[in-house]
Amino acid sequence: MNKYKALFLQLVILCSLLFGFTANASNQVQSIRVWPSPDNTRVVFDLVAAPDFKYFTLDNPHRLVIDLNRISAGTALPAVNGEAALIRGMRSSGSQNSMRIVVDLSKAVKPNVFALAPTAPYGHRLVIDFPDSNPTAATASSSAASTGSAAVSRPAIPASVRAARDIIIAVDAGHGGEDPGSIGPGGTYEKNLTLPIARQLVELINKEPGMKASLVRTGDYFIHVNSRTDIARRMQADLLVSIHADAFTSPNPRGAAVWVLSLRRASSEVGRMLEQTERHGELLGGVAEVIKDSANERYLAQTVLDLSMNHSMVTAHQVANQVLSELGKVTTLHKREPQAASLGVLRAPDIPSILVEVGFISNPQEERLLRNSAHQQKLVRSLFTGLRRHFELSPPADSLFAQRRAKEHRVQAGESLSLLAQRYNVSVDELRRHNELRSDSIRIGQVIRIP
């Protein structure tokens, strides 16, 4: 019996020592990063170990105070990487095994403070999100970027068709900020590929009369996947295009792909949105005003959302096919048909959405290719051509593209391209270019669009 008591006592002492070691384990702030975005400022403290923290706010002046426990004695804050108008400064004081960090703020905000576990390429983090509708440090340089260029040259539109609206496309650069996306074998971050490609696509779209594009993410900051569709909705977008680069566990797969929403995700998402009755007005627009006082509002809303989702999915599939057709001319295709997946950025029932994987960043050869500016330009041109071709074939009824489509001619027996050029007072080259013809040969019954 004494033998077991001795073993038990040794076990207790060992556990106490282990617990004491863990409790006194030292932590350290390795770096501080500030990520301003148009509606949020994020501050990230990179740490050696998981943070043990408490926090509170103070007024006059506005401050956030964070107390970190189990911090190495004598440690000081490293230099802050990044800046935002909301953050006036940071300072720290310490005692044995603890550190107090004071974040001086330019106005009163309600912070959201939380810890994040390690995810490559980051270790343990303490994150502070400050809701901020005017982080000028982020938006000052991005106002022009949201449309691709500060001064975009667009061909003049005849006065007779100016009343028609532009087709609006929201271009989403995948990942950003704390979320680097996939990382290539050469160290390339996916977020650093998607943004320049998205910017080039926006710039190209904005040069086309009747089309207008804006970036969902204008800089290197994080946007929650749910917020991306909300931003596109505020733009009143006709289409959301999300740019990504794929990755796999082996380096072999390569090629571009286009993803659309799966039916399983679509059905469950409609159910979740119906439960959020406060969003009916936002999703349904004027329809919500008609049905809001109806006793059968829920069932009518179900029908409207089902119809909207069905239209969005059909449209997205059509767009995906056009984009794949063009991408296949400039790069390898991983899949030649649109792929369906339960991806959050595709879930808006009121906005047709596609996700374009421009290649596999996990493939060393394709990683180098994706970083090549000439290859990026080819990808952007093909994306633009596919999008334009879709809207030429299926334009919104009130758009400039719809007015253009009204000017069509069905070829009759005995007609030639040169004869049509004379009849409509345009050049043969214009007809050939407008209809993407490789020769002057046309056939009976063919529809020729008149520029």
Spell out the residues 6+ positions from residue 271 whose beta carbon is closer than 8 angstroms to its own: none
Output the pLDDT for position 62: 95
What is the model's pLDDT at position 159? 47
SS (H, E, C) 319-355: HHHHHHHHHCCCCCECCCCCEEECCHHHCCCCCCEEE
50/60 Cα distance (integer angstroms): 31
3-state secondary structure 166-194: CEEEEEEECCECCECCCECCCCCECHHHH
Give the separation between CA 41 and CA 32, rounded to whole angstroms.
13
pLDDT of amino acid 290 = 44
DSSP three-state, residue 280: helix
3-state DSSP: the chain helix, strand, coil percent, rounded to 5? 35, 25, 35
Question: What is the structure's pLDDT at 352?
Answer: 93
The two tokens of residue 160 are: 């007779």
Query: What's residue 205's pLDDT?
Result: 97
Cβ contact 76:28 at 8 Å: no
Which residues make Cβ contacts (< 8 Å) with residue 410, sequence separation at least 6?
A: 445, 446, 447, 448
The DSSP H or E segment spanning 83 is none
Exposure letters 311-335 (e unless 16+ CB within 10 A, then b): ebbebbbbbbbbbbebbeebbebbe
Q: Is the pTM of this model over 0.75?
A: no
Contacts of 290 (CB under 8 A, 6+ apart): none
Question: Of 44, 223, 240, 31, which is closest to residue 142 (Cα–Cα)?
Answer: 223
Which among 259, 157, 162, 143 has a CA at the least distance from the CA of 208? 157
- Note whether 320 and 261 are within 8 A (CB): no
- The residue ranges of the chain whose pLDDT is under 50 are 1, 8, 12-13, 15-24, 136-151, 159-161, 266-293
pLDDT of residue 64: 96
